Amino acid sequence: MGVGTLIIFIAVILVAAVAAAVLISVAGSLQQRTLVTGGQAEEGVSTGAEAVSVMATDAATGHNIETFEMLLRLQAGSESMNLNNTVVIVDTSTTSQNLDFQGGVAGAYSTLQYGITYVKSGPDQENGYLSRGDVIKVLFNSTNAVDENQKVRIKVVPRVGQATIIEFTTPDVMTDQRIALW
């Protein structure tokens, strides 16, 4: 009886060792997945832009506006935003347009694109990104002129993170060359 018991005892120890190795492997895999998922969730919640102001030009001719300038910076604690993966959506009561980043900095941009200039460059500044410490001016044209007393909604939607929503109504009378909207 002593040898049979010893063989069973050794078999139980081997089975327990294999089970422990499987549990340790699964726990490590789950921990890695948890860290990746947690990082993605944190990036999704904390990444986003903050609007500083919205201006428009060309109101002196025709009492409507077509050219917009929006100052943006990162929200506190946000990761850098790749502007190539960021869409600006401009909605009015009569139109809606999705604008993609035209690439590069400033220059000519079509009605379906937006351009940027760096007003202030942060320590991690990289062209085509909104990084910590950066303040950028987003420049775009509306496909149709925006008239007086019209509601406008601008959304800055990054690939990952929170959308920034800016809503305003244009002034009742627009006669100046440059108008502060938000």
Which pLDDT value is given to residue 109? Answer: 63
Q: Does residue 161 register a pLDDT over 70?
A: yes
Which pLDDT value is given to residue 144? Answer: 85
Give 37's pLDDT tier (boundaries 50, 70, 90).
confident
What angle is formed at CA 38 by the lines to CA 166 and CA 43, rounded to 5 degrees?
25
Give 22's pLDDT tier (boundaries 50, 70, 90).
very high
Pairing of strands 96-101, 113-120: parallel
Inter-residue contact 161 to 47 (CB < 8 Å): yes
Inter-residue contact 144 to 95 (CB < 8 Å): yes
Adjacent-strand bridge partners of 167: 153
Tokens representing 92? 């009015």
Tens-place pLDDT, residues 46-101: 678 999 999 998 766 778 898 999 999 999 888 899 999 999 999 998 889 999 99
Cα distance from N-terminal residue to C-terminal residue, the chain: 89
Which pLDDT value is given to residue 62? Answer: 76
Q: Is the dihedral of CA 105, 141, 83, 46 positive or negative?
A: positive
Q: Does residue 111 register a pLDDT over 60?
A: yes
Q: Does residue 44 register a pLDDT over 60?
A: no
